[in-house]
Amino acid sequence: MRYVTAVVALLVVSSLMAACQKGPKEEEILPPPKIVKTIPADANPLRKTYEAEELGPEVSRGEVTSDPAASNQMSLFVKRGGAKLGEYAAWGPYEEIAPGSYIARWRLKAAKLPENDEPVFWIDIAGYPKADRENFKMIMSKGLYAKDFPDPEKYETFRITFDVAEPFIFELRTQYLQNADLWVDWTSLELAQ
């Protein structure tokens, strides 16, 4: 009888030690949330989209946040007062484009907008010719006003068409001008057809 008790005790201790070494049960470990990338409906094959939540802190301000209305259910959020006036909320990607005509797009949402007739944000295309790094310049810009954001829960898409005459290293910038909440979903660049 003592032998049976000792064997049972040994089996219990062995199973407890095995359970401790395995860690939590597999069904208790949850997989990370799945992010499904969606392509904007008006995309064309020559378009490149830059998701704001993937930019990184070296070319953005604010924080990555969950947003069901955004293309990947994530966006870059700059809270009212979270950036200095005149700073850029997002910029980059510093990629080369060939000479030609282009369309740049921004998908933005804004809330808590000031009640005045001044621009709340500027969007622009800037950069430098590949052969002349010292010649940084803004190619085209557009002011965005409170009236451009009629619904604080809805993203709006803005576009700027521009031309470059030589190989050019570009960036698409979103400048924060007044205290407002700003969500940047994505920017994109495509050849004009």
CATH class of 47-191: mainly beta
**Measured between alpha carbons, how far is 32 from 68 in angstroms, rounded to an integer?**
17
Tell me the pLDDT tens digit for each residue of 66-98: 999 999 999 999 998 777 888 999 999 999 999
pLDDT grade, residue 57 (50/70/90)? Answer: confident
Which run of H or E residues covers position 4?
A: helix 2-22
What digits encode the pLDDT tens for the residues 175-189? 999 889 999 999 999
Nearest to 191 by CA among 3, 26, 45: 45
Going by the DSSP 8-state scheme, the letter that residue 60 receives in this structure is: B
Residue 64 phi/psi, 5° resolution?
A: -75, 130
Q: Which pLDDT score is estimated for 33?
A: 47
Give the predicted TM-score (pTM) of the model.
0.75
Domain residue ranges in the chain: 47-191
Residue 11 zone, left/alpha/beta (φ > 0; ψ -120 to 50; rest) = alpha
Which pLDDT does position 178 carry in this prediction?
Answer: 84
pLDDT class for 41, splitting at 50, 70, 90? low
Identity (one letter) of the amino acid at 25?
K
Contacts of 107 (CB under 8 A, 6+ apart): 40, 71, 155, 156, 157, 184, 185, 186, 187
Percentage of the chain exceeding pLDDT 70: 76
Section 127-131 average pLDDT = 95
